[in-house]
Structure 1
Amino acid sequence: MKAIARILLSGALALAGCTTAGADPVTSPTPTIASHFGGTDLAWIEINIAMNEELLPLLDLVPQRSGRPDVQAMAQQTKTFTDAELTALRELHDQAGLPKENPHKNMPMPGMVTSDQVTKAAKLAGKEFDTLVLKALQEHLEQSEKLAGSEDRSGVEPQTRALALQIIRTRHAALSSIKEAS
């Protein structure tokens, strides 16, 4: 079962454009996983928790550094739905019996906001800051939408698939706003 879960996880990561370069392999034993979660569901939950958690520090900089009310409103809207999604994702994480340590945290992947981006953004203000934030936010939302589409097509757990559909809708609306702001 562990081998199958790892193969499915690797496949899901490859589809998501993730790379394991520089990442430590998962060496901790896999806890018992509820049978109604498939490999795609499990990978999607962990990847989205990591991506959303890494986005929040960048969004927290917006009120003090952005010079545009529309960027501030977009960041607040994104923070609101990201916080709500994280709550749902963490509940699914616990239901699935996934390990506490997320193997995707700080993993280089498309759409992942990095600590370097946050550090760079913290040194900027006004137009330069807004440009960086809009680009990072667009990349995050586009990748998140793609991942949710993969979960919708390949996932098997109903709550997880329902959350993926909700995420597709929020990403579509947010991306429309970003394109108008750019």
Structure 2
Amino acid sequence: MRLIASVAVVLLLAGCGGQQAEKTPAPTPASTFGGTDLAWIEIMLAMNEQVVPLLDAVPARAGGAATRDLAATVRVFTEAELPELRALHDLAGLPAENQHVGMPMPGMVTEADLAAMTALSGPAFDEAASGKLTEAIEQAVTLARSEQEHGIDPRTRALAGEVLAARATVAAGADAGKREN
């Protein structure tokens, strides 16, 4: 009896029972997200969103071209990644309130960090802002490597690969600049 009921349910769900309505494909998740994927999306989204106000402060506060150049580069990959991170966030069904916003961790520009840095200008700002941007780059690399190693969602892992590639370019440029000095 249980087998017959199960077969009937399967047939009804498959649209094989009685009168058939126009078939519309049932929505299916684009991919499966694991815990590493979900955490990486939220942390990277928070890090990228929270670095933007610092990037916005650079033109008025920076004293040197190196800080402006670094900020411009960080802005390019941040603005490229944010739409993808937001799309993955929505696709994964993560809550609207990101629990990682404002989390005091390496690379995260907290409100206190931003307030302290924007109270500075010239060389002092350059040192603080460049240090925080470098820290954000390094933390993003660490997190992206972890996503590459432990994540299971292909789109999330692909974006982590893009994050690694973008930051490798910045790190290579910074290393070349150090050698020139």
TM-score (norm 2): 0.78
Contact persistence 1:51–1:112 (CA under 8 A): yes
TM-score (norm 1): 0.77
Map residues 105-120 of structure 1 onto 2, 5 A cutoff: 105-120=101-116
Which residue of structure 1 lines up, in the alignment, with residue 44 of structure 2? 48
State the distance in 1 between where 2:125 and 2:79 align.
23
Q: How many residues align?
A: 150
> Please, which runs of 5 or more residues in structure 2 have no aligned partner?
1-28
Larger Rg: 2
Alpha-carbon offset, residue 74 of structure 1 = 1.6
62-71 vs 133-142, greater mean Cα deviation: 62-71
Alpha-carbon offset, residue 34 of structure 1 = 7.1
Structure 1 stretches of 4+ with a deviation exceeding 6 A read: none
1:136 to 132, 136, 161: 132
SS of residue in 2 equivalent to 1:135 = helix
2:165 to 153, 166, 169: 169
1:156 aligns with 2:156: no
Which residue of structure 2 lines up, in the alignment, with residue 145 of structure 1? 141
Contact persistence 2:45–2:85 (CA under 8 A): yes
Overall identity of the aligned pairs, in %: 47
Structure 1 residues 96 and 34, CA, compared in 2 at 3 Å: closer, same or farther? farther
State the distance in 2 between where 1:176 and 1:168 align.
12
Alpha-carbon offset, residue 178 of structure 1 = 3.7
Which residue of structure 2 lines up, in the alignment, with residue 68 of structure 1? 64
> Please, which runs of 5 or more residues in structure 1 have no aligned partner?
1-32
